[in-house]
Structure 1
Amino acid sequence: MKSELKRLTSRSNGGSNAVRKSKLNKFIAGWINYFSMADMKSMLERMDEWLRRRVRQIYWKQWKKVRTRYKRIKKFGIPLWKVHEMANCRKATWRAALMLNSVLTKEEIAKPGYLSMLGYYTKECVN
């Protein structure tokens, strides 16, 4: 499952965010419906955290320039010194995605329509 999620959230596949989101949502729904009888709540919590970090990594990579990062992070209403610090971060994408956790929260990632694995599991599966 993790290798397929890695393939779907790859930054080099050339698809738009809408295409990536729809493929990811189809995969999550299909996988959870197939394994709905299993008790996998803790595993899905870990995979959800990892997947959200992958999505943050994608957004960080799309915001290529410091100016773009500054504008996008500023929209979330955090202090300007923190915006400046985050936008000028020179860490790699995986580390920067961890830093973006305070800006792109679960709710912000769910707004465009990304499914939460654990949310879908608790909604659809009765265990």
Structure 2
Amino acid sequence: MEKQGLRYVRYADDFSIYTKSEHSARKIGNNIFMFLRDKLRLPINREKSGIRKPVNFTILGYSFVPTYVKGEKGKYQLVVSAKSWKSIREKMKTITRKTTPMTFDERIRKIKETSEGWLNYFRMASIQGKLKDIDGWVRNRLRYCIWHNWKKPERKRKNLIRLGVEIEMAYQWSRSRMGGWAIAQSPILGTTITIAKLRKRGYEAMLSYYEKVAPHLNEPLYTRPVRTVV
């Protein structure tokens, strides 16, 4: 494939070839199928094999979305697949579950290990917007863990006062009938258990780490597949 100048991605026994037109895709696909079947005598999974547009294709957790640039057509951007987003959210949800027997420092360490591993793998994708959303969600879950750990109203009151909340307001919030998750998302914790305070405990937002490792933030990474083969 390299000798023929084809653009392809291979992982183990899976591979995909990228072409500029459906006609080229069909021609190359037929040649590849015959070579694998007749020359190498390898079985071909017909359900997984075929010709697809990039928007209907995922590979190794990545997907493609078209980019809309004036005067340019046929360009696509790498993004993270829906399945991969669901996977990282489930992992973060498990780590930040308030009933999970884990100290706060252990949670922070687990978040760091999980997010850095995931972002190192997906650093080529354009995902800033979704990372902002997941970061806010994770921070609120951490606040919920802290609120839950304070347990008794009197302890909540004292801790709120230590964080700078006025005495009367601290009393009201410590006796609030609102659910813990609602309080975690409220200004009372957002303005006291701030991002800066979480950072002092070792927390780093996924977006912050991504901006360190993503190679394409200054020059957006585009790819040009029009049809996907095999």
Compute the TM-score of the two structures, normalised by the length of structure 1. Answer: 0.93
Larger relative contact order (CA 8 Å, sep ≥ 6): 1
Aligned to 2:57: none
Cα deviation, residue 81, structure 1: 2.1
Aligned to 1:22: 109
Question: 2:159 aligned with 1:75, yes or no?
Answer: no
Which structure: greater strand fraction? 2
Residue deviations 1:74-94, cap 9 Å, x none? Answer: 112232222122222121111
Which structure: greater helix fraction? 1
Question: 2:137 aligned with 1:53, yes or no?
Answer: no
SS at 1:115 equivalent? coil
Task: Give the distance between the partners of 1:64 and 1:90, measured in 2 at CA.
Answer: 14
Larger Rg: 2
Residue deviations 1:40-91, cap 9 Å, x none? Answer: 0000000000000000000010010111111111112232222122222121
Aligned match for 1:123, one of 198, 212, 218: 212
Number of positions where the alignment pairs a residue of Structure 1 with one of Structure 2:
127
Compute the TM-score of the two structures, normalised by the length of structure 2. Answer: 0.53
For structure 2, list consecutive stretches of 5 or more residues without a partner in the other structure. 1-87, 218-230
Q: Greater CA deviation, 117-126 or 58-67?
A: 117-126
Task: Give the distance between the partners of 2:99 and 2:165, measured in 1 at CA.
Answer: 31
- Structure 1 vs Structure 2 CA RMSD: 1.2
Task: Give the distance between the partners of 1:84 and 1:13, measured in 2 at CA.
Answer: 28
Q: Which runs of 4+ in 1 moved over 6 A?
A: none
Task: Give the distance between the partners of 2:118 and 2:196, measured in 1 at CA.
Answer: 22
Task: Give the distance between the partners of 2:165 and 2:207, measured in 1 at CA.
Answer: 28
Contact 2:164 2:192 in 1 (8 A): no
For structure 1, list consecutive stretches of 5 or more residues without a partner in the other structure. none
Instruction: Give the percent of matched residue pairs that are identical in Structure 1 and Structure 2.
Output: 28
Amino acid paired to 1:4: K
